[in-house]
């Protein structure tokens, strides 16, 4: 996996986008995000600006998502499964009980 891919997964917001895509198994309508206030760790306007100008471009460049910024939709990209494997490892490392044998 490339440095770009690891960089794309280094941020909690980007991991959240991938997790939502995995759980829903369908594209995300970015226009519906305000209906999910629990995702905001900062003011919604700041979150949306960062999502559009930083996070989604990084995920799209890495091939983890296909982002249609004109339609406001995000879908799984061609490298999504590669990202999902790494996310599973990250989640396991965050849960010490999952590492016990």
65 and 56 in contact (C-beta within 8 Å)? yes
Strand 65-68 to strand 73-76: parallel, antiparallel, or no bridges (unpaired)? antiparallel
The token duo for 41 is 């760790």
| 30-82 pLDDT, tens digit each | 877 655 555 556 666 777 888 899 999 999 999 999 999 999 999 999 999 98
In the three-class reduction of DSSP (H, G, I as helix; E, B as strand; rest coil), residue 81 is classed as: helix
List pLDDT tens digits, range 12-25: 888 888 988 888 88
| CB burial string 12-40: b at 16+ within 10 A, e below | ebbbebbeebeeeeebbebeebeeeeeee
Question: So what's the pLDDT on residue 44?
Answer: 66
- The model's pTM is 0.77
Residue-level pLDDT at 38:
56
């Amino acid at each position: 996996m490339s440095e770009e891919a690891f960089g794309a997964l280094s941020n909690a917001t980007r991991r959240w986008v991938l997790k939502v895509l995995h759980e829903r198994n369908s594209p995300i309508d970015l226009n519906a995000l305000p209906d999910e206030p629990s995702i905001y760790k900062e003011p919604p306007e700041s979150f949306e600006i960062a999502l559009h100008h930083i996070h989604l471009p990084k995920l799209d460049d890495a091939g983890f998502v296909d982002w249609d910024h004109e339609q406001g939709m995000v879908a799984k990209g061609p490298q999504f499964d590669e990202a999902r494997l790494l996310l599973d490892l990250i989640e396991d490392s965050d849960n010490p009980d999952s590492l016990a044998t």
